[in-house]
């Protein structure tokens, strides 16, 4: 079961409930309605669409690196492919603070990021002789494609796979899997932009008559609910499951030892959508709204984001080793993310609901 899907579905239902509330004032209230057009534009264009553009570009590089690896099977090309995977992974993890819209509606999240890898069925495919094409991989379950299947095939179960350990069939699978992943990232990016599915316009035109977002506040609520969802997943899923059960097989991205980077980038996705920029620019955003309405709350959110990232990155060694060797450091990171979660789903969401 893809637990990420189930938690996000629950969060999506919460978003629907929140979006029923409009920013419109009572007809007898002469108080001007605040205009959050630029705040929404920054979140949509400067964060969401730019993150998906980066993801799509880096997925193309990953695809190229795996085609090159299949054609020229050298240790150098293997290392290049591994780095290309890490590079493409970064914008994906930094998109998990806004997993709403096409990524959810079109089933793109499980197609790209299902965990864990179904090793038994994967071995069955590797041994069955079926031609490995993009179309064939596209039709497989999410646990047989996407980031983690590529990761597993590149690094191996014990994270020490060498060129001599690969079969010809595995190289073929990697190429087709990368092509499938690139198809999914292209579909996701195109679904948002004006020349494609133009889902972004739903956010940019929020208000009366908009069937998706009947008010600008509904978009801001969507942003905050996205932050809540990923903070909850990092604290109570990604960190908690392997720590509480002392089971490294529950650790996401363990083959590549990329778990800490994943988790930190998940929290950065919160920072990006909160501040309306992927560059750290001082943009109009949920943050600037809070600076005006409740400066102490804005300072608290920013501080807790920084504390959570720092605590994750300061876990000694790999996350795999720290689960047993330094569980207190993992617990500290979990606590910092939980502190952030409490603030997001309590104070921040309440503040946005009351705009």
pLDDT of amino acid 147: 98
Q: At what angle do helices 168-192 and 147-155 cross, to 10 degrees?
A: 150
Contact 81, 183 (CB under 8 A): no
Q: What are the backbone angles phi and psi of residue 247, rounded to the nearest 5°? A: -130, 105
Say which CATH superfamily domain 37-198 falls into. M75 peptidase, HXXE motif (1.20.1420.20)
98 alpha-carbon distance from chain centroid: 7
- Do the domains at 37-198 and 207-355 have one common CATH topology? yes
pLDDT of amino acid 83: 98
Domain extents for the chain? 37-198, 207-355
pLDDT of amino acid 160: 96
pLDDT of amino acid 20: 40
pLDDT of amino acid 143: 98
Per DSSP, 44 falls in state I
- Residue owning tokens 């790999």: 318
Token pair for residue 15?
Answer: 């978003």
Task: Please work out, in degrees rounded to the nearest 5, the angle formed at the alpha carbon of residue 177 by the alpha carbons of 320 and 269.
Answer: 55
Say which CATH superfamily domain 207-355 falls into. M75 peptidase, HXXE motif (1.20.1420.20)
pLDDT of amino acid 31: 53
Residue-wise pLDDT for 26-65, tens only, equals: 444 445 679 999 999 999 999 999 999 999 999 999 999 9
Per DSSP, 25 falls in state P
SS3 call for 284:
coil
Per DSSP, helices labelled H in the chain are 3-18, 37-41, 50-71, 75-93, 102-105, 108-113, 119-128, 134-138, 147-155, 168-192, 200-204, 216-233, 240-245, 259-275, 286-293, 295-313, 319-325, 327-343, 349-353
C-alpha separations of 313 from 154, 266, 289, 304, 336 in Å: 24, 12, 29, 14, 12
Residues of the chain where predicted confidence (pLDDT) is lower than 50: 1-30
| Residues making up the chain, counted from first to last | 355
Residue-wise pLDDT for 125-160, tens only, equals: 999 999 999 999 999 999 999 999 999 999 999 999
Contact 137, 176 (CB under 8 A): yes
């Amino acid at each position: 079961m893809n637990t990420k899907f189930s938690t996000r579905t629950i969060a999506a239902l919460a978003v629907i409930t929140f979006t029923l509330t409009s920013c419109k004032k009572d007809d007898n209230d002469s108080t001007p309605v605040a205009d959050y057009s630029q705040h929404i534009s920054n979140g949509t264009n400067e964060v969401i669409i730019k993150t998906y553009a980066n993801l799509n570009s880096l997925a193309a590089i990953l695809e190229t690196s795996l085609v090159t690896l299949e054609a020229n099977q050298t240790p150098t090309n293997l290392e290049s492919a591994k780095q290309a995977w890490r590079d493409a992974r970064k914008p994906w993890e930094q998109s998990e603070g806004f997993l709403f819209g096409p990524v959810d509606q079109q089933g793109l999240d499980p197609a790209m990021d299902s965990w864990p890898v179904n090793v038994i069925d994967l071995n069955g495919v590797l041994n069955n002789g079926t031609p490995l094409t993009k179309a064939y991989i596209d039709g497989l379950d999410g646990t047989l494609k996407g980031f983690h299947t590529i990761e597993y095939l590149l690094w191996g179960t014990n994270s020490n796979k060498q060129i001599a350990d690969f079969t010809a069939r595995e190289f073929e699978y990697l190429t087709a899997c990368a092509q499938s992943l690139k198809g999914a990232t292209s579909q996701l990016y195109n679904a948002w932009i004006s020349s494609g599915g133009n889902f972004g316009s739903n956010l940019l035109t929020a208000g009366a008559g908009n069937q998706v977002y009947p008010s600008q506040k509904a978009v801001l609520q969507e942003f905050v609910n996205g932050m809540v969802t990923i903070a909850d997943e990092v604290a109570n899923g990604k960190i908690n499951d392997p720590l509480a059960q002392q089971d490294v097989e529950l650790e996401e991205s363990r083959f590549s030892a990329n778990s800490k980077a994943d988790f930190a980038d998940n929290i950065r996705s919160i920072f990006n959508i909160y501040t309306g920029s992927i560059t750290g620019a001082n943009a109009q955003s949920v943050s600037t709204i809070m600076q005006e309405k409740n400066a102490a709350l804005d300072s608290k959110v920013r501080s807790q984001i920084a504390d959570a990232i720092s605590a994750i990155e300061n876990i000694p060694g790999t996350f795999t080793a720290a689960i047993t060797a330094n569980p207190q450091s993992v617990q500290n990171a979990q606590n910092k993310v939980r502190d952030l979660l409490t603030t997001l789903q309590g104070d921040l969401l309440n503040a946005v609901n009351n705009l």
